Structure formats: C-alpha cells, structure tokens
Structure 1
Amino acid sequence: MANIFQPSSMIIPIFNGENYDFWSIKMKTFFCSQDLWDIVDEGFTIPEDLSTLNASQKKELKENKQKDSKALFFLQQAVEDSIFPRIMGATSAKNAWGTLKEEFQGSDKVRAIKLQTLRREFELIKMKESETVKDYYTKIKELVSQMRSYGDNILDKRIVEKILISIPRKYDAIVTTIEQTKDLSTMSVTELIGSLEAYEQRLSRHDDNTFENAFQSKLKLRSHDDRRYGGKKN
C-alpha cells in the first residue's frame, strides 16, 4: 500500500483570512481529488469497544484514521500562520473544517445580507461606453461567482438577459438580431459574448475606416489649397 502521506503534486490553496467562500470551494475540490472529502465533511465514528470489531472493520477504521490524519495535515498546511491557532487544537479534519467555516463563513443572516447586496449590485450594473465587452463580462462573472458562493443558483438565462439590457445603444443592432433569431432561454453566456465581441470588432473597424477617410479628405483638401495658392498662404 502506498504511503498515505506521499506528497501531492497538486498545489494546496492557502487561506489568509479573506475570501473564505472561494477558498473553501477550492479546498473541497482538492479534497475530492484526494478522495478525502467524505472524511472532512462527515467524519467517522470510533466504536467505544474496539474488541467487538472484526478484521474487516478494524482495517476500515485504520484506513479512516489515516485518511483523517492526512486531511487534517492538508488543512494545517492550507492556512497561514495567523489562522493556524484557530485549528491547532482540532483532533479531526471535520472539527478543523467546521471551526473555520463557523468563524469565516458567517451566520445565515450575515450571508443573506451579503447576497442581497450582491443581487442589488448585479441589477444596477451597466456597461460603460468606454468599456469593452470583455472587461464588462469580467465584472459580471465576478459578481455571479460571488452570488453563487453565497447560495444563489443564478441561471445563464438571467445573465444573458442582464447583459442584453445593460449594454450601450451602439449594440442595438446586434441585440435586435439576437432577440429575433435566438432562443434566449437556451442561449449560453459564452455564445452571447462571442457574438457581442464579433460585433464590437466590426464597430472598431468601421470607426478606424471613418477616421482614415476623414484623414485622407483633410490631406486632399490641404493639397488642393497648396496648389491653389502656389504653396503660399497669407
């Protein structure tokens, strides 16, 4: 049997006391990859009378102890020194995980208030004229990620609708086309952003051509004036 404490090639996310929800999601994925999440989430029971266990049960108990020790070790490595004292007395991974969750995730009331604030920010956000589609979508993604971390199962349909009604009027032509030719209830956010970015590039090329034409017209006018006045102007 391989050494259960064999170093992992994966990088453990480090918690510094901020953005607990993001860190906890990363840690859950990490524990799942190591087949340790069940032991962290549910723990395990040690019978009072070990003499009643058969060989198979003793083997299972030993493996659970090893898994728990490994998970606790990972948790200890996953927090900065300033956070470590909170879990240094924990005797199981479940206990350490629960301690961090209780302190940094906040109560249901606090989480509900934070989620309400994020929802309001999501409703009010609009794309600025000077922003690119990519930059605006980055803001939307960050908001959605935070909302989901606080329990809001926001669907793509809602995100698509939000983007369509919050982008500048210069995108009206592509918005109308999308609304007339696409089923918004099944359209993915990725597909929408791809269409908007393609249209944005067309607008950019049009602006460049307009500028170039204006510049060429100015040069022609200057050349005409030079010929008219023999290269001299009073």
Structure 2
Amino acid sequence: MASMSFSPPSTFIFNGENYHIWVVKMKNYLQAYDLWKFVYTDVEQALLRDNATVAQIKHHSDKGAKRYKAMSCLQNGILDVIFTCIMACKTPKEAWYKLKEEFQGSDKTRQQQLINLKRDFENLKMKEVETVKQYADRIVTVATNIMLLEEEFADSKVVENFITTLPKRYESKISLVED
C-alpha cells in the first residue's frame, strides 16, 4: 500500500477572521490524511506487548506519530499570535476546542447567533435597487452562516424563501421556475 507523504497546511492559515471557513478547510485536510479522529477523540494509545512483532511496532509508532501530525497541522494552520492561545494544549482535541471556544464562542453564544441569523433569514426582502443575483447571494450568505454554526438547513427552505420574498414584478418568472 502506497503511503501519502505528509506536509502541514500552508495555503489556509487562520488569521483570526472567517473561523468557520478555516474549520471546514482544516477538518477536510485532517480527514484527507486520516488525522481527524485524533482531533475529536482523546483515546490514549495502548502500550505495546513485550513480544510485539516488527509490523506491530511499526503500526504502533505510525499511530502515535499521527497524533503529533494532527497537532502540527493545527499549530501550523494558524498565525503565531493565535498559536499562543493553544501552545499549552497537550492534545489536538484540546487545541481544537480551545480555538472553537475562542473564535466561535460558547454554546450559548452560538445559539444566540443562530437565533439572530434565522430571524435575519426570515426577514429578508429584496431591495428595489438590487438585482436578483445580488438578492440570491444575500440569501445564500445568511443560509451558509446558519449551516456553519452546525445547524441543518434544507436547500428547499432557501429556495422557498427566495421565491416567496421576490417582489410582485417577478411573479411571471416565478411561475416559469415552479413549472
């Protein structure tokens, strides 16, 4: 089996802005290198038996190295000024949740953000000077922000809101789209 070479992320360094976007990119990066499980679990690696085979020793060593690779990805995927808030963390899971709390807030804060975004979504109306494309982009932006807060949000709800909030002058075009 061919092994993938490992290199820490360099193209998406978190600078303190757009945390939700960085999270998606980092999670996918870690999953691509089979490192994500070391972020969401804190399972300690079992000790090797005294009579372990060479293959078992290699497997044990590779598995131990993955925890450090995951931590390295997290540490190298953020600016130095942000690194200071996780440098005392011992595990990738601890570092991940420290960043989450720091930049996404507590569960209570996220819940309030979610309530505000849902209210904004329900109150969206197309402005007179806005094009349909601009309005659609605005709706999608709010819906994406809701989904980034780990909330399921059906595409059909976005489409329904878009169609029902378009001004009357688009009624004939809406009928065509519905057909």
TM-score (ref. length: structure 2)? 0.85
Specify the SS of the correspondent of 1:86: coil
Distance 1:124 1:79 in 2: 36
Specify the SS of the correspondent of 1:35: coil
Distance 1:110 1:60 in 2: 42
**Residues 87-98 of structure 1: pairs in structure 2 closer than 5 A:** 87-98=86-97
Number of residue equivalences: 177
Counterpart residue number, 1:130: 129
1:147–1:167 Cα change, 3 Å:
same
1:76–1:142 Cα change, 3 Å:
same
Higher relative contact order (CA 8 A, sep 6+): 2
TM-score (ref. length: structure 1)? 0.67
- Aligned partner letter, 1:121: D
**Residues 97-176 of structure 1: pairs in structure 2 closer than 5 A:** 97-176=96-175
Distance 1:115 1:171 in 2: 30
Q: By how many angstroms is 1:3 displaced?
A: 8.5
Distance 1:98 1:165 in 2: 39
Distance 1:2 1:160 in 2: 44
Distance 2:38 2:142 in 1: 32
Counterpart residue number, 1:16: 15
Distance 2:61 2:14 in 1: 29
- Aligned partner letter, 1:35: D
CA contact (8 A) 2:67 2:92 kept: yes
Specify the SS of the correspondent of 1:165: helix
1:126–1:86 Cα change, 3 Å:
same
Specify the SS of the correspondent of 1:172: helix
Counterpart residue number, 1:7: 7
Which segments of 5 or more consecutive residues in structure 1 lack a partner in the other structure? 182-234
More helix by share: 1
Deviations 1:106-151 (CA, angstroms, capped at 9, x unpaired): 2221111100000000011111122112111111111111100113
Deviations 1:1-22 (CA, angstroms, capped at 9, x unpaired): 8685x436x6442222233222
Identity of aligned residues (%): 36
**Residues 182-197 of structure 1: pairs in structure 2 closer than 5 A:** none
Deviations 1:65-117 (CA, angstroms, capped at 9, x unpaired): 21122221111111111111111122332222222123322222111110000
1:54 aligned onto 2:71:
no
Counterpart residue number, 2:67: 68
* Structure with greater Cα Rg: 1
Deviations 1:180-212 (CA, angstroms, capped at 9, x unpaired): x2xxxxxxxxxxxxxxxxxxxxxxxxxxxxxxx
- Aligned partner letter, 1:69: Y
